[in-house]
């Protein structure tokens, strides 16, 4: 029987952010900047995936000693500035259940938001991805080290990336 032969070695590299992004908008803006700047001089570069998530602690104010409920909300289309506002304003969820959002101190942990925006890059030799989150930049599915060099040079020129 024939054996499999390695024909490719793909890599993953991360760059932690010195100061995490505090908003969904900041993550989206830096991903859009990468597409606009196109430091790879790629034939095709576009945002391929967006995911914005919020975790919120809530309780029913009409019930004494009501247990805290934790709700995770994901917004893939970025309909509003934050996923929680979308749920409160557009779906009527908050009004239908009668719950009130707890402050960070009341919940005992911070209400959290996270974002991940992925850019797909296709050049002459390969297709790879750059993912931006609140805490890091990840480039993955690449083979050529010049991809990381181009991304590092571009990122070094962006104050928000440290």
The tens digit of pLDDT for each residue in 133-148 reads: 999 999 999 999 999 9
pLDDT at 115: 85
Can you give the pLDDT at residue 162? 79
Q: Are the C-beta atoms of 152 and 24 separated by less than 8 Å?
A: no
Low-confidence ranges of the chain (pLDDT < 70): 56-63, 66-73, 75-112
| pTM, entire model | 0.76
pLDDT for position 99: 55
3-class SS of residue 45: strand
Which residue(s) pair with 46 in the sheet?
120
Query: Which ranges of 11-145 does DSSP label H, i.e. alpha helix?
Result: 24-37, 83-86, 93-97, 104-107
Q: What confidence score (pLDDT) does residue 104 get?
A: 47
């Amino acid at each position: 029987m024939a054996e499999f032969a390695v024909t490719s070695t793909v890599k993953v590299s991360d760059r932690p952010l010195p100061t995490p992004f505090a908003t969904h908008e900041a993550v989206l803006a830096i991903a859009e900047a990468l597409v606009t700047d196109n430091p790879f001089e790629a034939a095709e570069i576009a945002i391929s995936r967006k995911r914005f998530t919020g975790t919120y602690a809530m309780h029913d104010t009409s019930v004494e000693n009501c247990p805290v409920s934790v709700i995770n909300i994901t917004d893939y289309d970025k309909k509003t500035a934050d996923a929680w506002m979308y749920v409160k304003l557009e779906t009527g969820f908050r009004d239908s259940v009668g719950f009130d959002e707890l402050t960070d101190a009341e919940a005992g942990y911070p209400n959290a938001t996270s974002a991940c925006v992925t850019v797909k890059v296709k050049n002459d030799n390969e297709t790879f991805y750059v993912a931006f989150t609140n805490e890091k930049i990840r480039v993955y599915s690449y083979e050529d080290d010049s991809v990381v060099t181009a991304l590092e040079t571009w990122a070094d020129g962006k104050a928000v990336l440290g």
